[in-house]
Amino acid sequence: MRIIDTNVLVYAVDARSPQHAASIAWLDSALDGRDDVGFSWNALLGFIRLTTNPRVFPSPLAAEEAMAQVHDWLAAPSAHVLNPGARHPEILERLLVARGAAGNLVNDAHLAALAIENRASVVTFDSDLSRFEGVRAVTPDDLLRRAR
């Protein structure tokens, strides 16, 4: 199982991003059945928040476009929506306290806790995820190189 971080989702739709080619190539192949792909609502909401915001996204999507993209991703046969399990609060607290994480790292800690619960890696361009013990963070570039 591979859990996708918000940045990979944003780069997959932003053709101007240097990370676009790797993000869209990996995501398309993974959703075609190459990998089980985990989506957190946190990452999906982050995608909608960022891509519909004209201050952040140069050519913002309409809410309908962003939601249509989310529906397309979730309709893929290898897509799974991951929800926190019974151990999530305990794992999250351990990660937050161990790293002294606060502020912007709280969402990363949540994603890391989901990854630990699901024995998954996190697909991201954010190096912060690798700070959390027990989490394996990989980039789409890494995964594409391994697939060759």
Which residues are documented as binding site for Mg(2+)? 5, 108
What residues contact 68, with CB distance under 8 A and at least 6 apart? Answer: none
Among residues 83, 48, 86, the alpha carbon closest in space to that of 67 is found at 48
Question: How would you classify residue 66: left for phi > 0, otherwise alpha for psi between -120 and 50, otherwise beta?
Answer: alpha
The annotation places the binding site at: 5, 108
On whether the CB atoms of residues 69 and 95 are closer than 8 A, the answer is no
